[in-house]
Structures are given as structure tokens and as C-alpha cells.
Structure 1
């Protein structure tokens, strides 16, 4: 923001988008458009769609994306590392370097020091995924003013820049993730009523469907190499973009001509689009809003350029979508406006008040006997929020107990994401029910969980660190005697 006007940093070719792609060589690495050029030549060392891999174990990634060409393993903390020409590279390192790259680009145009940043994340990111972003920023000394959900940022752009108000549905279909949020905007108040989504649903999946379709059409008896499959995914992306403007297209692959038309493409992607509609319906139910009461629909993300996506949404709501802000720019515009507001608010320069009421995207709970998930804080609860639960000894002379914290909506913890295991030990020996430990679950405005353990009689007050270990089987020991 300069002189109350917003502009987006662009490169020499006046392109505002920077692909989050990184390619590694023996002594250096490249990010952005230069890296994208290497996707075909060196797919093993060129990593894209990193946002999809944050917070998942190697086992889950191999199951979800069996055709990835990367060489991966897990380190001592069960985090994913890529084996590249440059060395062993963690996901955190890639996030850090992308953030540093953006900082460098921005500083070239703005000599002022960057005092902080609003970083947008998918609304359906869980605690571990958000923590991974925060940790990466902290390592490079980038102060996070706010972790802002992408659909909320889009709504801010329309609410502040276009001065619109009412009940909004934000449909955010990008390359790797899908989010939907229902918001109420009025007189500077942005109230998120509900949010829902899927962290592995987006344009990348459309590319995979096209690639698999082409493989079936190819007259070859062998399996494609990693290089060939990566090239095919690049061709699939071109087909997807081409069919967003034209009725038919063709490619030459392995010396074979493959024809592809708009009808073929629609048949492939209809199941995925219907999946987004199912998630959208859940968000409306959670918000207690009928679709007829939605005043405006905001489309976010490059995948919303696909005609069938637009037609399906407009048919579902029986109204046109908003299009005055580019879907690929709307999130960054909202984030910029929010950062500008936060800075001016801190410096007491803000004239008009803006109140942002966001919600917890995924429920947080604890494990009960039988592996049942007891939800402590329900999804779509307004943030910040605090929930308390008293744990007591149920056996005579019991000296400790375990507490396992999960995030998810399923009935059993085996189907939810483990956030933390901790064990309280060395409690004084008492009769059943005589020891009462207060556990306080606190979720801040960024949706990050903090846990406090208290007992006034035993003079206990300890904070539990919720870290970013992906496959979090490590148990933190809370020794009461220390």
C-alpha cells in the first residue's frame, strides 16, 4: 500500500504471479518461473505444490500421490525431507526460501524495512500445518502480523476495496487446495460464520485426471518414466488452460497425437466439482444459512477460470458470481489491506474500525477410553476461544495420567490428526477424585492451539508446546515434582 493505494509487486515481464516451485542443483537453487522451466528437464530435483505436502507423513503422501517423482524420506522428527542434488531438503527449508524470495523481490521496489507480514493459508489448514508456516517465518526473522485464512482475505478485498456488504460465500479452488467460507460483512465487521474445505483438492487433481486419460490413450506397453510423467503433467496443465478458452485441443506426446475436447475434460472433472459442492453444502448447514440468502459469491483461485466450475456454482446459487477482482489476485489484495489496517491500528492512525471475527476450521478434542474423540472446541467456534476441563484421579494412589490431543471431526481418534501426547506423572498419592488438574485449551486468532495445565493446591502451572512434528508419537512428560 502506497498513499492509500494498493499495488501488487510484479516481475520484469509485468507478471504478478510467482509459481511456488523450487529446483535444486549441486551448488544452488532457483525459485519461481526459472524453476518451472526445469520441471520437465529435472523432475526429481524440481518440487512444486509444496502446500499439499505440509503436515503429512511419508506414508500418507505415498498413498495420496503415488506418482510423485521425488526421492523422499523421514528425518529423526518424522518430517519429510527431499533427497536432491543440493542435499537433504526439508519442507520447512522450502517454505523459508520462498518467503525470503518474496521479501527480496519486495525490498527491491521498497527500500523501507518490512516490519511484518500477513501470510494467507488455506482455511482448512490444521494446527500442525499452520505451525509449520509460523516456524519457517520465525527462522528467517519475519514477523507474522496474522495468519489469515484465504477465503477471509478474499472477503476483506471486496468488503474494504469494493465497499460491499451482505452475506458472502467465498469459493476458493486453487492449484492444490479447496476452501469455502460463509461470511457476513457489515460496517467494517467481517464475521466468518463457517468454513470447510479439503487440503488435497484442486487444479493439480484435474491435471492428474487428464494425464491418466492420456496414458490410457497411448499405444505403449511400458510404464512411463518419472521424466515422461512429469512432462505429461505439464502438458495436462496446458490442456486444462486451453480448454478453459477453446472447445478442443491436441498434444503430441511420445510421437503420438492425442485429441482432447471440452466434453472429455468436463466428464473427467465433474466428480471433483461435485465434491466441492458437497463441502459447500456442509458449510451452509454449519452457518445455518440457506443458499437463497447468499447475497454474493466470490470466486478465488486459478481453477475457478474453468467454465464448468463457474457454471456449476452459478447454477447451484441461481445467480452470477462476483468478477470485479481477478480471482488470482483477490486473496493477496485482501491480505495487503488487512496488513495495512493492522499497521495503522498499531500506530493509532486507523480512522475506520475493522473487526475480523474468524472461526476454528477443525474441531479440537481429547482421546477417551475406547479411542473415542471428545471434542473440546467445536469447529466454526469464533476465535479466540478458551475451553477448560478438569481431570481427576480415578484410582487410589494414582500418580499420573496421559492426555492425547487430536484435531478432526470423526468419532474415533484413529481417523483424526494427532497434535500432542503428554503425560502428567509424580502426582501425590490420594484417594479417587481428590486430585483435580485443570487443563486449559486456548486457541488464538490465528487458529493455533496453546495448552496450560494448572492446579493451585499443588502450585502447578505449566504450558505445553504444540510443535510441528508430523507423526507426533513423542510424549511430553510433565513431572509434578520438578
Structure 2
């Protein structure tokens, strides 16, 4: 891997170099072409779902990729919210809902309140690097350890082990043990051995779940329904742990693999037919999943929009210069929960220039952070006396708009 001039990750493959956004574009193009071919019609727009705990950069990558193939994005919808829509609309459910979403690469948990077509996200938490892929790697290493006279591990061999491990994992959701032939050896793996491997990861998801409940100020006894999302929720140990945690059964009326797409389809149907009185209205009240702020002197993270803020939202604060005759001001925008920016994700850097030279503290700079209903972040800065104004709308990741003007 490497990075290009736009600081975007570039993968070096057998068929050439490709960026993350390039990979996503190919996926979107394939899906779009397949649907248009099957239904003999063009797509006028799409709802695209993403993990709730995606940061601003990850969401912007999705937006950028859709725009580059001329795919109109109706809304970027959080996956747990989509799952709740699938159940909430079909079954007319009300009350507090927990959505436990673990797929191949990410884990999310969201606490929502549903009432009369209003879907209010109270809290969300997660880990963008936890999922079924971790289980596959653990199981692959475990299977390799059981081989007698094992050869030296290579990338190619480990990839083969991952494919076998995934198949074993799926079979262990229905069987107590599975035997596979691996490098001329018969290897047996029991569900008990698999459970021991993945138990620390499941405990981690439960700790994240507890934090989400705490952030939402909702007791687990007040959760009415639990929705499971993602292929990894077929694992019996996960279902058992969730059942034991809440002391109640999870909803299993819809396929966990399809429930997000089902909810996204219902939301798309509503947006397309929202003037039709026969279509039940949906109001989504989402929140900011990860805090956004700026760097202060000493590498301190000053949170402008804190995690859990309702969307849309706006926060305005006044900052000042810290030394005499300072004519410039650097704004570094970060996303994260740590007190220090070194532990957060850098989103964007820009500079305010040509400030009037004055004593420290006399220059006042008003900084406004706004997140609109479409989850787009914009940052506006203005020096009070000279009226120098900057505006950054983070609608793309690598090519942000800078407006520098005097009024």
C-alpha cells in the first residue's frame, strides 16, 4: 500500500493500482448496472447505508464515490437506523430499541426510540475494526496450529486458511464440531474451541453496548426489542450472550443479512413517494456519532460538536491569538473522543492569513461548526474587526472548498 498526492490510500494489486474510492466506485457501478439491466430502467437515486460509527472521512469517501459515477445519493443512512425502520414500520413498534450490528469488518450498536413514525437515535457506539473477519483470522491461526509437520506460513497459505476458516465458522453455527482436510491433515474444530477464541471479542462488544445504554440514559430493562444485524449474529454464542444480557429474546422475523437493505428500501420508497398520503411518513432524528473539534495549543482537543449532539446542529465559539502581532491562525479539525489530538483522526487543516497585527488576545476569531440534515460538516471562521472570513464545506475528503473574502 501507499498514498497518492491527495493522501488517499492506494492498493497495489495484480491488475494495477487502485484507491479506496476507486474500489467503492467499481462496486457501486456493478450494482447499478445489474439493477438497471434486470429491471430495464435507470436508477434515479439511491439510499446508501453505512455503519453508524463511521467517521467523517469514511462517510465522505462514500459520497465522493457515488458522485463520481453520477449516482444520486438520496441519503446516507446509518445501518442500525435502517434496521429499525425495517421492523418499526412493518410491525408498528414503539419504545426503546437496541440494534446490535456485527458484520464482517465493523461493529455498531445503537439505541433508538421509536414512536409514531419517528425514529430518534439516542446513542451510538462501535468499533470500525471488529467483526467476523477477526473471527476468521483467529480460527485460521488455530487451525494452522493443529497441523502436524506444518510448513512455514506465507501470505498465500494464510489466505487459503482464511477461506477455510470462514467455511468452518459458518458450519459451526449449526454443528457442534467440524472436520476439514488441511495440507494432508484432518483437523477437527469444536464449537467450544471456537467460542473460547472469540469470547474476548464478544465481551468487548458487550462493553460497547453498556456504554451506548449509558450514553442514552436508558436501562437495559427498558429496552423493548433487540434487533440483530449482520451475518456474524448467526453465531450461537453471540445470540446467547445478547439473550443473557437483556434477559429477553431478540427479534428474528427478518434475515439479519437483509434487514438493513430492507429498511433502506422502505426509506427510499418514502422519499420517492413522500407526497403520497398513503405512504406512512418517516422522521429520522439522528445524532453525531463521534465528536468533532479543533486543536488548541499543546495538542489539546477542543470539542466543538460533541458526540450525541442532535442533527442538524451548530456550535459557535470565540478564539483569540496567543502572541503579539500574530497575523496567521492555523485551524486543524479533528474527530475523536480523546483529550489529545494525537489520539484523534485528522479531518482537515487550513490557515487564516492577513490578520491585523495586534497584541495577544486582541484578535477575536469566531468559529462556527455546522452539521446539516445530510450529515455534511461545514466550518466557518471570521475575524471580528477585519471581517476576514473562511468557509470549509467538507463535502469531499481531499479537495475541500476554501473561501477567503473580505466584506
Farther off after superposition, 368-377 or 167-176: 368-377
How far 1:432 sits from its partner (Å)? 3.7
TM-score by length of 2: 0.95
Conserved? CA contact 2:390–2:404, under 8 Å:
no
- Determine if the alignment matches structure 1 residue 177 to structure 2 residue 177: no
Conserved? CA contact 1:426–1:479, under 8 Å:
no
How far 1:392 sits from its partner (Å)? 2.3
How far 1:421 sits from its partner (Å)? 1.3
Tell me the secondary structure at the aligned position of residue 102 of structure 1. helix
Query: Which residue number corresponds to residue 321 of structure 1?
Result: 250
Matches within 5 A, 1:123-142: 123-142=52-71
How far 1:464 sits from its partner (Å)? 1.4
- Determine if the alignment matches structure 1 residue 342 to structure 2 residue 271: yes
Unaligned runs of 5+ in 1: 1-71
Conserved? CA contact 2:390–2:402, under 8 Å:
no
Q: Alignment partner for residue 287 of structure 1, among 216, 236, 239?
A: 216
In 1: Cα distance, 2:278 partner to 2:354 partner? 52
In 2: Cα distance, 1:354 partner to 1:389 partner? 34
Conserved? CA contact 1:423–1:478, under 8 Å:
no
Query: Which residue number corresponds to residue 51 of structure 2?
Result: 122
Farther off after superposition, 454-463 or 257-266: 454-463
Per-residue CA deviation, residues 101-136 of structure 1 (Å, 9 max, x unaligned), is 111111123233211111000100000000000000
- Determine if the alignment matches structure 1 residue 380 to structure 2 residue 308: yes
Per-residue CA deviation, residues 385-441 of structure 1 (Å, 9 max, x unaligned), is 111122223433221111211100111111110111111111122344443222111
Conserved? CA contact 1:148–1:446, under 8 Å:
no
CA-based RMSD: 2.0
In 1: Cα distance, 2:306 partner to 2:293 partner? 8
Conserved? CA contact 2:295–2:332, under 8 Å:
yes
Query: Which residue number corresponds to residue 355 of structure 2?
Result: 427
Unaligned runs of 5+ in 2: none
- Are the structure 2 counterparts of residues 228 and 351 from structure 1 closer, same or farther at C-alpha, using a change threshold of 3 Å? closer
Query: Which residue number corresponds to residue 331 of structure 2?
Result: 403
Conserved? CA contact 1:422–1:478, under 8 Å:
no
In 1: Cα distance, 2:404 partner to 2:71 partner? 34
Detail structure 1 runs of 4+ shifted over 4 Å in the superposition: 347-351, 474-482
Per-residue CA deviation, residues 267-316 of structure 1 (Å, 9 max, x unaligned), is 11111110100000000000000100000000000000000000000000
In 2: Cα distance, 1:247 partner to 1:205 partner? 21
- Determine if the alignment matches structure 1 residue 356 to structure 2 residue 284: yes
- Determine if the alignment matches structure 1 residue 447 to structure 2 residue 375: yes
- Determine if the alignment matches structure 1 residue 418 to structure 2 residue 346: yes
In 2: Cα distance, 1:449 partner to 1:479 partner? 18
Matches within 5 A, 1:30-429: 72-220=1-149, 222-345=151-274, 347=275, 351-429=279-357
Conserved? CA contact 2:321–2:361, under 8 Å:
yes
How far 1:76 sits from its partner (Å)? 2.2
Farther off after superposition, 424-433 or 84-93: 424-433
In 2: Cα distance, 1:143 partner to 1:94 partner? 18
How far 1:372 sits from its partner (Å)? 1.4
TM-score by length of 1: 0.80
Per-residue CA deviation, residues 30-68 of structure 1 (Å, 9 max, x unaligned), is xxxxxxxxxxxxxxxxxxxxxxxxxxxxxxxxxxxxxxx
- Are the structure 2 counterparts of residues 481 and 398 from structure 1 closer, same or farther at C-alpha, using a change threshold of 3 Å? farther
In 1: Cα distance, 2:400 partner to 2:287 partner? 29
Per-residue CA deviation, residues 217-249 of structure 1 (Å, 9 max, x unaligned), is 122354222221111101000110000000011
Tell me the secondary structure at the aligned position of residue 295 of structure 1. strand
- Are the structure 2 counterparts of residues 475 and 166 from structure 1 closer, same or farther at C-alpha, using a change threshold of 3 Å? closer
In 2: Cα distance, 1:478 partner to 1:140 partner? 27
In 2: Cα distance, 1:475 partner to 1:370 partner? 26
Conserved? CA contact 2:389–2:403, under 8 Å:
no
